[in-house]
């Protein structure tokens, strides 16, 4: 097969809290109102990404993975038909509901439940925009249940003011919500198990309050999580690029790379790229594919000697085969631990 950087047709999601920022700010080809999400790379249930460029245009990503699992995803994932990550843009014109996802342990105790660990990178933030992360002054789960039933959950949410360029890792079990006036990139496990705890007393499109999922939501909530200290983990500076490692976990690794001239892609498995500023070219096998702000691309695992050229900023997201070996490779390759 011919390997090349894969682009995809976005999967747009109409949301009660959505706006028109994906069209205005990211130049997405959208004609509808209230589009809150653009799923960039997905094989989650029926929302399967379709390739939009090259030899495999109009082919579902799952079809390519089943046919060439090691070449597309890498040795670590060659026996898995499901793509392990879901990449999306979120445009919050209004607040999202207060929600929680299971972690690995609690997901096992609920039928049809999958863990969901995620990370947000803030692309755009209006003045006084905020996130809601974790709980305060909640003693135990019975206390949490009473607080929710009495309609007082909003008084027990940690409010975090945010700005463009901030990033946050949200492990399963964390009560959270995205505030209005925010646009962000979300990288997450391929899961959509979400338990709604509170919806700001608003009505759904049918004129009725949206359903809450209090039993399962409270069950999976981690009351002790309260980590707002999100800092760059490692950094490498050269004349051609600045590479920042934002987050490291077994679920995914996220980097932000400010490219001034050229950047070589080194990888164990597949890599997802999202351009967050300007535009550039992905060079491979003496060929090239363009990438611009608002676009996401997958670099297949077995596509070697790939580099990015131009003056642009990208997010790079991938999964390492071994976290300890990965961290050692950083210190051995010119990164500074922060």
170-200: per-residue pLDDT in tens?
999 999 999 999 999 999 999 999 999 999 9
Q: Which residues contact 146 (CB under 8 A, 6 or more apart)?
A: none
Backbone φ and ψ of 24, nearest 5°: -70, -40
Whole-prediction pTM value? 0.96
Question: Is 234-337 in the same CATH topology as 6-220?
Answer: yes
H or E element that contains 19: strand 11-19
- Give residue-wise pLDDT tens across range 26-52: 999 999 999 999 999 999 999 999 999
SS3 for 186-245 is EEEECCCCCEEEECCCCECCCCCECCCCHHHHHHHCCCCCCCCCCCCCEEEECCCEEEEE
Superfamily covering domain 234-337: Jelly Rolls (2.60.120.10)
CA distance 153 to 198: 7
Cα dihedral across residues 112, 91, 167, 320: positive or negative? positive
- Say which CATH class 6-220 falls into: mainly beta
Q: Which of 60-74, 215-229, 295-309 has the lowest mean pLDDT?
A: 215-229
Domain boundaries, given as residue ranges, for the chain: 6-220, 234-337
Please say if the pLDDT value at position 78 is more than 90: no
Closest CA to 78 of 64, 68, 86: 68
Q: Which residues contact 96 (CB under 8 A, 6 or more apart)?
A: 17, 177, 178
């Amino acid at each position: 097969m011919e390997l090349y950087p894969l682009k995809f047709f976005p999967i747009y999601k109409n949301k009660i809290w959505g706006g028109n920022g994906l069209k205005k700010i990211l130049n997405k080809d959208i004609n509808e109102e209230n589009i809150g999400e653009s799923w960039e790379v997905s094989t989650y249930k029926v929302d399967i990404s379709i390739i939009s460029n090259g030899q495999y245009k109009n082919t579902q990503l799952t079809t390519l993975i089943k046919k060439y699992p090691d070449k597309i995803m890498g040795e670590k994932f060659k026996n898995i038909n499901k793509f392990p990550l879901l990449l999306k843009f979120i445009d919050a014109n209004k607040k999202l509901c207060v929600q929680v996802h299971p972690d690995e342990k609690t997901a096992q105790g609920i039928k049809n439940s999958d863990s969901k660990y995620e990370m947000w990178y803030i692309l755009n933030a209006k003045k006084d925009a905020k996130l809601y992360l974790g709980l305060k002054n909640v003693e135990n789960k019975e206390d949490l249940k009473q607080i929710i039933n009495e309609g007082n959950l909003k008084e027990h949410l940690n409010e975090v003011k945010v700005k463009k360029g901030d990033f946050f890792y949200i492990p399963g079990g964390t009560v959270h919500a995205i505030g209005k006036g925010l646009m962000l990139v979300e990288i997450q496990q391929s899961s959509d198990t979400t338990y709604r705890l509170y919806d700001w007393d608003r009505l759904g499109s049918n004129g009725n309050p949206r359903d809450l999922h209090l039993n399962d939501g409270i069950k999976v909530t981690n009351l002790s999580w309260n980590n707002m200290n999100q800092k760059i983990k490692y950094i490498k500076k050269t004349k051609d690029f600045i590479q920042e490692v934002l987050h490291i976990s077994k679920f995914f690794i996220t980097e932000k790379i400010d490219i001034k001239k050229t950047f070589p892609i080194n990888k164990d498995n597949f890599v997802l790229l999202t351009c967050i500023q300007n535009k550039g070219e992905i060079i491979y096998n003496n060929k090239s594919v363009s990438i611009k702000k608002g676009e996401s691309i997958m670099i297949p695992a077995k596509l070697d000697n790939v580099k990015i050229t131009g003056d642009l900023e990208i997010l790079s997201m991938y999964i390492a085969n071994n976290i300890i070996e990965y961290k050692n490779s950083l210190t051995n390759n010119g990164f500074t631990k922060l």
